[in-house]
Structures are given as C-alpha cells and as structure tokens.
Amino acid sequence: MQTQEDSLINNILRSRGKIPRLESIGKKPAEEGGCGVTGFISSIPVRGRHIYEPSIQMHNRGNGKGGGIAAVGLSAEALGVSQEVLDSHYLLQIALLDPDCRPQVEAANIQPVLEVHKAAAIDTVDDYRQVQGLEVRPPDVWRYFVRVKKEALERFVEENCLQDLDPRRAEDEFIYQNSVRINQKFYASLGDQQAFVLSHGRNMMILKIVGYAEKVVEYYQLEDFKAHGWIAHQRYPTKGRVWHPGGAHPFIGLDEALVHNGDFANYHAVSEYLRQHNIYPQFLTDTEVSVLLLDLLNRTFGYPMEYIIEALAPTTEYDFDRLPSEKQRIYRAIQSSHIGASPDGPWFFIIARNDPYRKNFQLIGITDTSMLRPQVFALQDGEVQIGLICSEKQAIDATLQSLAAEDDRFCPVADKYWNARGGSATDGGAFIFTVSDAGKEDGSKQLVCTNKFGEVVSAPENQVPLTLQDTRAVSAQAGEIDRAVADGLAEADLSTLTAYSIRQMADWDYASLRHFCSVLVSRADRSDADKTKAIDVLTALNDRYYSTGEKKRSGVLHTVRQSLTELFSSSPKIGGNGSSRYRYIDRKLRPSLTAPDSRDQVLVLNAREFEPEGDHCDARLIVEAYQKGWKNFICYGYKGQRFTGCGLANATEGVRIDVYDSSGDYLASGIDGLEIHVHGNAQDQLGQIMKSGKLVIHGDVGQTFMYGAKGGEVYVLGNAAGRPLINAVGRPRVVINGTCLDYLAESFMAGDPHKGGGFVILNGMQFDHNGVLHPQPTPYPGSNLFSLASGGAIYLRDPHAVLVDEQLNGGEFVDLSPADWELILPYLQENEKLFGISVEKDLLCVDGKARDYKSVYRKVQAVRLDVLAKASAESEEWGEDWRDSA
C-alpha cells in the first residue's frame, strides 16, 4: 500500500526525471584517493584566515591541484544584506569558467524563475598572479541572493503534483533542480564547460580553485570574513593538468557542503542507485555522489541524521548484536534498503550544513565502518566553544593556535581529542557539532557535540579556561613555590618536586602554575643539572594525569608546554660558545651541525620550520647528527613532521629521542635499537616494521600502529586507533593502557610468547579529569580481536569477563598460568615506572578490592586454524576431506 508520503517522494523523484541529461555514463575522470580534510565550527563567528593555517598543514595530503572551502553561518553585514535576507534567501554562487557566459546563464536560469535580491561578483585580489602559487586563474564567481518567483514555484508544484509538500521545501527542491539544469546546460553537456553552480544553500557558501585550499581564502579575500563554521579540502587528483576547479571539493547538497577523503570501490553501484532515483551525477567524482546520496536520504526521504549515517556506514558484526533490539529492527530495515548504495571502501566525510528548519548550523564527521581513513575529533569548551574535525591532529592544533593568537578565549590545546569508531554500537562512527541559539535572548549561540545516537560528548564542566592575557596576575603562593623549587632541585632525586607539583596542581590558580613554571625556567639557566631537572619535572606535568582543580587541563598543558618550549629554545646554539650539555639546532642552523663534544650531549632540535618530508626534513637531520655521533635528542616544535627516528639503521642501542608537540606519521617506523619517547598524542603508522628498541607514547596513538612490526618494547598510555599490530611477527611486546578501536593484532604471527615471541597487554583503562584511573566500559569494543592470528598472545585486563567469543575470529580465551604472569609482570612494572599506573593499586584492584591476577587478566591465544595450517593443493581444490570421499 502506498502512503501519501511515498507518493510525494515519488512525485519529487519523478519531477527530477524531467531535467535534461546526457544518457552516456562517463567513468570517473580522476581516480583520487587522497586528500586532507579539515573543518571546525564555533559558537562565535570566526575569520576565514583560521582555515588558512590548518590547510597549509595539510599540503602534503594534497597536490595543489584542487582546493576548496565552505562556510556556514555567515555574516550578513559582510555580505551586504540584512539578516532576514541571509536567513531566508538562497545564496546562489555560480563559477563562470567563461566570464562571457553570464548573460546566457542569467537569461536561461535566473531571470525567468528567480527573484534576485542582490547580485554581484564576489571580490578577489586584482590579479591572481599576486597570490603566490596560484597557477590557474580561479573562476569569476557571481553571487545572487534569490527566492523563487511565485508563479514559477506555483507552476512547478502544479506540474509535479507537489501540493502536499511544504511550500518552503518545494522551493528548496526548485532551487536544487534549477542548479542541476544550470550545470547540465553549461557544464556537463558536451562541448565547452562554461559555468557551474558552486553552492545554492541558505546562509552557506562554497568556493573552490585549482590550487591549495588556503589560496581560496587569499584570492577571494576571505581573511576577515566571519562565519561560524568552515571546512577545507586539499585535493590530490592523480591526473596532472587541471584547468578549472569543477572537480574540487566541497560539493553541495542543498544546505550542506561535503568534503571527502577516500575513494569508493563501488562508485558505479552508488551512481546506479542514484540514477534509479533520477539523480544523474554531473561532475563524476565520488564526492559528488556522496553528497547527492546524502541529500536524497535527507531531503527527499526525510531521514533523521542517525539513519542517514546508518545508511552510509552500516553497523555490522558484534556491534550490531550489541544494539538494542528496537534499533536492530530499524537498522536492519535501513541496511536492507540501502546497503547497495552504501559507499564501500575507505572514506571519511566532513559535512558543514545549515539546517534552516531547526535553526542551527552543524559540522558532521562520518567515518566508514572499517575506519580506513585517518580522523581526529576535538572539542574545546568554555566561554566560546569550538568543535574540530581533521584528518591529522596537527591541523587541529594549527587551527587552535591561529584562533588563540587572535582571540584569547580560545586555547591552543583542546579539552578533548578522540577518534570515531566506524559503524559501531558505541559512538556510531560519527560526531555532530551543532551550533544553535543559546536561549539567552541576546543572539548568542552554543555548541553541543553528540554522537550518532545523540549522546552528548562534553568536556569537564566548571573549569576555568586559561586566559592568555592574564599573565600579570601574581601568585599568592609565590614564596612557598620558590622554596619548594629550590629544595626540590637541590635533591638528587627529583620525585619530591614532581610529586609536590602534581599535588599542588589541584589548588594552584593559573598564576601559581605560571610562577612555578617560570621559576623552573629561570633556575634552568644556572646549570645543566638544573635544566635537566626542570625539563624532567615539566615533562612529567605534561605527560601525567592529575587533578587540575578548577583549571582546565588544556590550560595547564598549554602553560607547561610553553615553558618547555622556552627551556628548549634557550639552549646554546650549535656551533656557538658555551659548554652546555644542550645544543640547539633549527632549520637555519642546520649547516652548522657538528659532532657532539661529549657522548651525553643533547641535541635540541626545533622542528618547526622543517619540511614534513623529503631530503631536507628534520628526520634526515637526526640521521646526520646520529652519524656524527649524537645520541641524545630532544625534538620539539613539531607540526606533523614525519618519519622521526627513521633511517638510523640497526644497532642504535643507547640512542634516545624525546619528542614534544604535534609529531607526525611514521614516527619510529623501522627503528632497531633506539628509544623514543613521545610526550603527547602520536599520529598514524607508528612503529611500522619496528625491529627492536623502545617506544613510549604518553598519549593516544593513531591508525595502523606497529603494522608488520618485528619486535620492540612499546608502552602506550592512552588508546590506539584502528588496526594496531596487524601482521606483526617476531617479538613485539606492547602494553596499551587504554583500548583500541578495532582489528587489534589481526594476523598476529609472533611465535610463542613463552619462547621469546610477542604479545600485547591491553589494560582498557582511562584517566578521568581528576587524574583517577578507571576501567573503560569495555576493555575492547571491537568485533575483531586477534583475528586469524597464528602466534603470540593478548593479555586482557577484563575482570568482569566482558569480552565474548563472538569478538574473536580464531583465537580462544584461556586463564593465565603463573608463567604467563611471570612473563608480563616485568612489562607492567616498567609501565608503572613510566606512567605511574600501579600494578597493585590500579591494575589488580577491582572495584576497590585487591584481586589475584588470574581473576583480573585473561589471555587470548591462537588456535591452530585449519585454514592456515593445512591448505595443501588438494584440499584447496577439493576441500578438506577429499581423500575420504574419493
């Protein structure tokens, strides 16, 4: 039986069938996988220049052949219209590839049907060549504020039987179809490409160019243009010559702009699904297809965002089993209707949208079910709030630094960083930042972050953010702090001073903290011994979790890190005078690199100005310095520079690298002997093929951590993202104190742990904002643990036996033997030394009671799988029991 709604949907879809189109179906012209995506949305409007920095950070994720930005929640004043017009009118932006075709476009698709409130070319710099690095002249863009003419709309409704549709939504549909017609006529049809619609939503806009995304800001003079939400995309088309930005992201739905990192394996299947609904892609990239699909689900089918996300990234396996039965019923229905069009393969979407019907702006990040693309989310709460989504953490840091430099209500460190778990029952693999009216009647707005299921993600409440300009405040406890620092530094053992500062942290205000740090910094000038101690104490404050009292942890961290930076930067320059143990080097000083004076000298490397890769990257400098005899390194100032520690070759025992700030991908990949400490979160592909040595991460670690590793001792304080230790062999011994998203130790082949093989200890713990350690809801949320592993073991802290057989694929749960405990205890003790996570008081303590290791830890070991062991030629061909049946 057809409901009224069904027929309305059909009427809408049928009306789209009337739009002229080319029947020939082209293949995707450019196979592009890669890109960098970034976006943020704030409770206050912020300037376009802040999308500039993160875009630059992601240059190496694009190739300068396509970049674009979108903004939502715009400033009416800057656009020269009233707020009422901005809210009610469609902001139609047309890129004129051929500047002379504007009269034709207007005559054909604007004047007859649209009421134009205001039309103008948007401002640009005078000559595109003034913008460095811009090789192709960006298109002229005309901006129209429009409504559909009454008669035109009435005719449209009449002809297509849309009387049951809300008139405003009918107008939306008209605008959408009108743009499809423009594109069809002036872009997608055979012949010259003359013009295309960049965007047509309300209170939002898209601009794109051939070049890096930040050049959009420069060329179209958006540095000072304010908007609530911004997204940017660096494109990496593999085809070389591109003369216009039609294929660049973001792509438009109606009121949503979408950028995409990844590549569909089923582009044709999704396109076919769209064609069945009379939707014909015109730009032939999978990003366009994505947003068309989103728009279909959203505007035509009227799905809520949760169901749209489910249709795009279905919940599968054990995660599906964990859903409430009512949800399972709905999801099953969604999946059975939409799985054919669910994008398959690696993808990550960032969507900026205006929802005029609910009067809010949103920034949405959705990852595919397998989490094959990198993604980081961050949230900062306070007087102003901001939510950020990026492919790499350093882009988030760059955004916050840029914002904080202008407005001290922003802090360079976010309150919370996390990854989404694709298609999961825990967070649904998607997070939505919604900016809506704060209800204070003053027009102010508030930001709320929710996951797919609508559960709110928040930062600790009632804490005071750091105010950067508040530097003149004097600490009331200055005298006491001075004494404590003097006494502490006098002692050989630093633990007293460290313990003191951690204890005091809850009570100190920012001024006291700042005083403490500055005393340490000034004492460090007196002697190397004090400097070493000062670095150690501040490093402990940077790494450890403790109660920060009424201060925000982000504010504390920023203060501590600034002091560390100050300590590092004040080291005597390489090649200069002085007899310090520390020697400073940066990009400019690189040619002055000399051999160290003594074995224990420390090379302090400021990575800031270095290229992220290539022959001149800082990682090469470390190799050179090592070859000259340097063994100790402090590296800081990172903004995503890659490959730290790589290339030193084997037999590097005794070398130590301490890494501060936003370190990059592939850190420690291939190391064989040396020791690396990452003081903060680490990024993707760490420890790939690592052979031996020690890696300590005082934070979370990104995707495909220790892929194909052969050995090494590794300690992670926080969580690992997806696919850690895949295909690891040999003897890697890893302690992860948090959890992993999924696919931990798939195809693990690390021998017998009792005979020198490898293992992973997964503690599944986390610190709360008071610095107290708690077990996470489950030590491992994923559906795939130790899949198809043939060797090694996982030791799980799972006192309540939360994990079930369904999460294994080939492994088996067994009890720990005394030999197992004897094997892992030394690693837990080292873990205790590094992170302060006590074996007795924390790990073996369950619900306040001390327990035996056997009732706390479980072991997952490999079972000998037929599929791995027997596969002889005959059994491959004829099945396992061919001999018997013969």
CB-nearer residue toward another protein: 707 or 767? 707
How many other CB atoms are found less than 10 A from the CB of residue 4?
8
Among 726, 665, 672, 664, CA closest to 695? 672
**CB of residue 286 vs another protein: minimum separation in angstroms?**
12
Residue 825: in which H helix or E strand, if any? helix 818-835
CB-nearer residue toward another protein: 279 or 706? 706
Please, what is the angle between helix 495-504 and helix 528-543, to 10°? 40
**CB of residue 265 vs another protein: minimum separation in angstroms?**
10
Residue 604 CB contacts under 8 Å (≥ 6 apart), including other chains: 568, 571, 582, 583, 584, 585, 633, 634, 636
The string of DSSP letters for 280-349 reads --SS-SHHHHHHHHHHIIIIIS---HHHHHHHHS---HHHHHTS-HHHHHHHHHHHHHHGGGS--SSEEE
**DSSP-derived pairing of the beta strands 386-390 and 35-47:** antiparallel
CB-nearer residue toward another protein: 370 or 501? 370
Among 558, 549, 586, CA closest to 570? 586
CB-nearer residue toward another protein: 501 or 692? 692
Tokens encoding 189 = 């049809």
**CB of residue 693 vs another protein: minimum separation in angstroms?**
11
CB-nearer residue toward another protein: 542 or 703? 703
Tokens encoding 570 = 């004040």
CA angle 360, 116, 167 (to 5 degrees): 55
**CB of residue 726 vs another protein: minimum separation in angstroms?**
5
- Contact between residue 390 and residue 39 where contact means Cβ atoms under 8 Å apart: yes
**CB of residue 421 vs another protein: minimum separation in angstroms?**
17
CB-nearer residue toward another protein: 516 or 666? 666
**CB of residue 822 vs another protein: minimum separation in angstroms?**
22
**CB of residue 759 vs another protein: minimum separation in angstroms?**
14
**CB of residue 342 vs another protein: minimum separation in angstroms?**
17
**DSSP-derived pairing of the beta strands 731-736 and 759-762:** parallel
**Before 250, cis peptide (omega within 30)?**
yes
Which residue is listed with tokens 């501040």? 538
CB-nearer residue toward another protein: 641 or 739? 641
Alpha helices in 604-743 (DSSP H): 618-627
- Contact between residue 651 and residue 673 where contact means Cβ atoms under 8 Å apart: yes
CB-nearer residue toward another protein: 63 or 402? 63
- Contact between residue 74 and residue 86 where contact means Cβ atoms under 8 Å apart: yes
**CB of residue 98 vs another protein: minimum separation in angstroms?**
24
CB-nearer residue toward another protein: 94 or 749? 749
CB-nearer residue toward another protein: 311 or 619? 619
User: Where does residue 278 rank: exposed (0-12), middle (13-18), buried (19+ CB within 10 A)?
Assistant: middle
Tell me, what DSSP letter sits at residue 107? I
- Contact between residue 807 and residue 839 where contact means Cβ atoms under 8 Å apart: no
What is the distance between the alpha carbons of residues 582 and 531, in angstroms, rounded to a whole number? 9
Residue type, 848: G
CB-nearer residue toward another protein: 464 or 865? 865
**CB of residue 749 vs another protein: minimum separation in angstroms?**
4
CB-nearer residue toward another protein: 60 or 434? 60
How many other CB atoms are found less than 10 A from the CB of residue 132?
8
CB-nearer residue toward another protein: 312 or 560? 312
What is the distance between the alpha carbons of residues 571 and 686, in angstroms, rounded to a whole number? 29
**CB of residue 647 vs another protein: minimum separation in angstroms?**
4
**CB of residue 247 vs another protein: minimum separation in angstroms?**
13
CB-nearer residue toward another protein: 571 or 685? 685
Biggest alpha carbon distance in the chain? 91
**CB of residue 743 vs another protein: minimum separation in angstroms?**
9
**CB of residue 391 vs another protein: minimum separation in angstroms?**
9
**CB of residue 652 vs another protein: minimum separation in angstroms?**
9
CB-nearer residue toward another protein: 703 or 739? 703
Residue 542: in which H helix or E strand, if any? helix 528-543
Q: What pairs with residue 791 in β-bridges? A: 749
What is the distance between the alpha carbons of residues 699 and 408, in angstroms, rounded to a whole number? 26
**CB of residue 291 vs another protein: minimum separation in angstroms?**
19
Residue 276: in which H helix or E strand, if any? helix 267-276
**CB of residue 654 vs another protein: minimum separation in angstroms?**
17
- Contact between residue 352 and residue 363 where contact means Cβ atoms under 8 Å apart: yes
Report in angstroms the alpha-carbon separations of 707 from 521, 525, 530, 726, 745.
40, 42, 40, 5, 9
CB-nearer residue toward another protein: 242 or 400? 242
CB-nearer residue toward another protein: 18 or 268? 268
Strands of 430-437's sheet, edge to edge? 251-252, 256-262, 347-355, 360-367, 430-437, 445-451, 456-457
